[in-house]
Structure 1
Amino acid sequence: MSDRLIRAIAADARVRVVGVNITQSINEAYRRHRLSAVATAALGRAMSASLLLASNMKQPQARVNIRVAGDGGLGLVYADAGFDGTVRGFVSNPHFELPALTDGQQDVGKAIGAAGLLKVLRDVGYGEPYSSTVELISGNIADDVAWFLASSEQTYSKLILTEVLDHEAIAKAEQQSAIADAPVKFAAGLLLQIMPKAALRAAKTSNFSQADLLAQLEAKSDIANFNDLLTQGKEIEEVMTDLFSDLGIEILPMSKDVRFHCRCTAERMLAAMKMFGEEDLRAMIADDKGAEATCHFCSEVYRATTEQLNDLLKELQVEAAAQKA
């Protein structure tokens, strides 16, 4: 299955449906961060949710950040996604582990914790980003993001966020102190939303009343059906078509490739090191003979030479002299 984001409408354009597959992207995140099984599941859900929220934005450079901070062992779970289909993220305690549930799924709710906050930051591509924060209601991310949407947009929203891990591959890799090649068999998400003013159009455009439509969407939010279709190897577009065929689903020509991608660069790393100031830079040169920085989002390691640090010192000195002039 390829990583794709698919948008659609159903029920005479009264329902917005967005589906995303992030299997390859979360496997990449697992390899970069050496995540535990439950951390992999939690980050995958956050990455899917951020992509689903970003899909409704307009500008190519628009982005959505999701920060989930509960009282469980994972600490902060952070995902950042763009309208362009790029996504990245990290978990502050990536090696924290819990036993799987009896059905084999990861206990993400317990690992995150039900007491905490969900913060969503939207950068629309111009002006100042804006953010909203709500209290967690379950810690499983899907319910929490749906609650955020209901609170911030006063719109019915339902999220399905799921993953199936290859536990044998993970266990074998752990025994060898290695990482599995592809521990996630599949990871995907689905966002269902009733469009604004849908209730006013209901009698004119559909045989379903508003109550009937809500009941239909609740029934179609069954995660077991979603998992069954994905287990069959179906692409996310096929899954959406199967689930909503009786509601007249129309796949929109706005699909996007999804990929794990971090915007960090060596240049940005050096610019960040400049913020340490002259005293710290001199200590790095004298004591460490250089510096090393690791990106939180992708675990890429950047190294700065003494020559590069000396160049930063010169830049700071020039800037300081200019300010005094």
Structure 2
Amino acid sequence: MKDYLLKAVACDEHVRIYICSSTALVEEARTRFDLWPTASAALGRTLTVGSMMGSMLKSEKEQLTIRINGGGPIGTVLVDAYSDGHVRGFVSNPHVHYQYNDTGKLAVGIAVGKEGTLEVIKDMGMKENWSGAVALQSGEIGDDFAYYFTVSEQTPSAVSVGVLVDTDNHILSAGGLIVQMMPDASEEDIACCEAALAKLAPMSTLIKEKDSLEQILQEMFSDVKILSSQEICFKCHCSKATMKRVLTTLSKEERQAMIEEDHGCEITCNFCNERYHFSEEELRELERFITTFQKD
């Protein structure tokens, strides 16, 4: 199944649904950061939810950042999401792998920990960003986002998200589902959703076995109505030009050391692990530009 996202409604439009397939997106993150299986699952789940939350933004100028830190060995999980369907993100420690002894499943909750918070920061082009934070419930990501939506955004929500990792560490399947109750939802609507979710297979299994997201939704709700579809992907907007601007924030002494001692430098983008090399001559040219600009 290709990577894409659907927005839909069901139960006489009293229920709002977001669903996505994110296998290639998560595989892109895995290869960029050399993620071990549990780190792939933790970052992959967050990127997947991020892509759905990005689609909730009202304009292309808006963006949001998700920051999770539960005190576990993976450190911080950080994801940026945008309205056009692209996301980027990283974890502090990509080489984390734990499994639960009883089930053999990836122990995301152990890797992330639950002694901390899930924070969402929304940049909506205003003077100050909006932010909301909740205490982590399990560190398993899905439960934590369901709690976030219900408590911080006052929208009762169910969140299912999964990443299936193969024995050679590549991503077999990944996807997510958010089901939200609208203010006019009735007890009957709630019961309908609970019944649909109770028999729902893990999202990674559904993405692997079903032909399309439309099929998954149609099997969940008899009256589902698809509102829109969009592609999603892992994409970073870094460039050599943006990295050159980073160099200008360093002290003159630091830049001179790169020129005279290192004869060049390499800068790595935290969000996508892309590396940018600057030769000694490029650094000297930058220094001449900065000197001229400061004189002017």
Which whole-Å CA distance do the structure 2 matches of 1:24 and 1:101 have between them?
29
**Structure 2: segments with no counterpart, 5+ residues:** none
1:289 aligns with 2:276: no
1:235 aligns with 2:212: yes
1:221 alignment counterpart: 197
Identical aligned pairs, as a percentage? Answer: 35
- Note if contact 1:105-1:164 (Cα within 8 Å) is conserved in structure 2: no
Deviation at 1:129, TM superposition (A): 3.0
Alignment of 1:141-220 (within 5 A): 141-167=141-167, 169-170=168-169, 183-196=170-183, 198-199=184-185, 210-220=186-196
Question: How many residue pairs get matched?
Answer: 295
Aligned with residue 277 of structure 2, among 288, 293, 303: 303
2:92 alignment counterpart: 92
- Note if contact 1:43-1:77 (Cα within 8 Å) is conserved in structure 2: yes
- Note if contact 1:38-1:106 (Cα within 8 Å) is conserved in structure 2: yes
- Note if contact 1:292-1:303 (Cα within 8 Å) is conserved in structure 2: yes
Aligned with residue 226 of structure 2, among 237, 247, 251: 251
Pick closer, same or farther for the CA change 1:29–1:225 going to 2, 3 Å: closer
Deviations 1:181-202 (A, max 9, x none): xx11110000111123x14xxx
**Structure 1: segments with no counterpart, 5+ residues:** 171-182, 200-209
Pick closer, same or farther for the CA change 1:244–1:73 going to 2, 3 Å: same
Relative to structure 2, which stretch is displaced further, 156-165 or 126-135? 126-135
Deviation at 1:319, TM superposition (A): 3.8
Aligned residue identity for 1:152: S
TM-score (norm 1): 0.85
Deviation at 1:122, TM superposition (A): 1.3
Which whole-Å CA distance do the structure 2 matches of 1:295 and 1:52 have between them?
24
Deviation at 1:274, TM superposition (A): 0.9
Aligned residue identity for 1:90: F
- Note if contact 1:3-1:23 (Cα within 8 Å) is conserved in structure 2: yes
2:55 alignment counterpart: 55
- Note if contact 1:114-1:138 (Cα within 8 Å) is conserved in structure 2: yes
CA RMSD of aligned residues (A): 1.8
Larger helix percent: 1
Which whole-Å CA distance do the structure 2 matches of 1:103 and 1:219 have between them?
25
